[in-house]
Structure 1
Amino acid sequence: MKVMLVNGSPHKAGSTNRALEEVARTLEAEGIEAEIFWIGARPVGGCVACGGCAKLGRCAFDDVVNEFRPKAAEADGFVFGAPVHYAHAAASLLGFMDRLFYSNGRAGAPNVLVYKPAAAVASARRGGTTSAFDDINKFFTIAQMPVVSSRYWNNVHGNVAEETEQDAEGLWTMRQLGRNMAWMLRCLEAGRAAGVPLPKQEAGQTTNFIR
């Protein structure tokens, strides 16, 4: 089994990465493969509702989002992490997730996210972690992805990685997140082995507030 951890910070080795490293080390200690994927330092724009993904089965803008898609297909679980900017998750991660999630499963392409456990991680110098945490979690609940929790909100504090190293409680929370993710993956694996089917889907109907 494998978990992909997405570093949505413009700083490859900053506080967000340090938090994800703690989760990754714990997963590996639990026998789960872990890989950290950095989205890079260039700004990543969000979805522009061009409709291209409905024809292509991927985002029409061929950048880091499409680079990540095959890795997501091979993953069994995810952790998306971001620093706090203006009391919300860093815009590049939100843009990355906008396009990854919206284009997922379009034009007959495989749905690489559904029913895979996911967790959010936020890092901050001081405040805004809970609102950033909420930003990221909303993607999972619309995509039918089980949300993995820890023993506290999944956040760490520190302006740089060296300061995050001093956040003993935050790193403790990251380790418990890794253990909880490993546990959920094993539970899902046991369910599949026991023949537990995936939930039935219905076509449903979209209703607009204004007609």
Structure 2
Amino acid sequence: MKILLINGSPHRRGCVYTALEEIAKTLEGENIDTEILQIGREPVTGCIACNYCQSHGRCVQDKDSVNRVIEKLDTWDGLIFGSPVYYGGPNGQITSFMDRLFYAAGNRMAGKIGAAVVSCRRGGATAAFDRMNKYFLMNRMIVPGSQYWNQIHGLTREDALKDKEGLQTMRTLARQTAWILKCLDAGKKASVPQPLQEPWIPTHFIQNT
């Protein structure tokens, strides 16, 4: 079992990394493999609504890590996204990354773990956290809970390391994630089938002619 953690912060070893690192260490202690991908310094462009991905299974834009994650998606049992809070929301890199990743490969996310963690100096964490969770909930992912919202506070890594409750929240999230993965593995061994997925019925209010 393996989890991919995606760091959307421009600071490679800043507050977001500190939160993801705490999760990764705890998961490793539960015999779950982890990988941290840093995308925060990449020039991640937004979705251009060309629908290329709907027929090709990958994004038409190929200068960042989106397609590389899509190519390896089946090797991960879950994805955890981390973002700093910019003006009460997740930053541009992680939002653009998630827009394109989920539009191109959201149909392959069902049954995987999906979680978000956010870092702020002071406020805006819950709004950013809520925004990111919508990707998981719209794509039939399993969202583990924790003892509080998945947020950590601080301006620097040194600050974040002093946020004992924030770090504990990350460890609790990791343990819940590991427990769910083990339950899912047991379900597979017992041949519990996946839920039936009906064909999508879009509501466009277009008259059939």
Q: Same fold (TM over 0.5)?
A: yes
- 2:28 maps to what in 1? 28
Alignment of 1:35-184 (within 5 A): 35-62=35-62, 63-104=64-105, 111-184=107-180
Displacement of 1:209 after TM fit?
5.6
Contact preservation (8 Å) 1:150, 1:173:
yes
Gaps of 5+ in 2: none
1:18 equivalenced with 2:18 (yes/no): yes
- Show the counterpart of 1:7: 7
Large movers: runs of 4+ above 4 Å: none
Shift in Å, 1:64 = 1.3
Q: Partner of 2:134: helix, strand, or coil?
A: helix
CA-to-partner distance for each residue in 1:33-67, whole Å, 9 max, x for gaps? 01111114133122110111123210000121112
Q: How far, CA to CA, are the matches of 2:173 and 2:197 in structure 1?
A: 29
The residue number in structure 1 matching 2:181 is 185
Offset at residue 123 of structure 1 (A): 0.4
Task: Give the TM-score normalised by structure 2.
Answer: 0.94
Secondary structure of the equivalent of 1:4? strand
Counterpart CA distance in 1 for 2:40 and 2:200 is 38
Q: Distance in 1 between matches of 2:92 and 2:206?
A: 29
Cα deviation, residue 165, structure 1:
0.4
The one-letter code sitting in structure 2 at the alignment partner of 1:36 is I
1:196 aligns with 2:192: yes
How many Å separate the matches in 1 of 2:10 and 2:72?
A: 20
**What is the alpha-carbon root mean square deviation over aligned residues?**
1.4
Percentage identity across paired residues of the two chains? 50
Q: Deviations over 1:59-113 (max 9, x none)?
A: 00012111222332200111111000011011110100000000116xxxxx542
Gaps of 5+ in 1: 106-110
- Matched positions, count: 206
Q: Taking structure 1 as reference, are residues 56 and 204 closer, same or farther at Cα in structure 2, changes over 3 Å only?
A: closer
State the AA in 2 paired with 1:186.
K
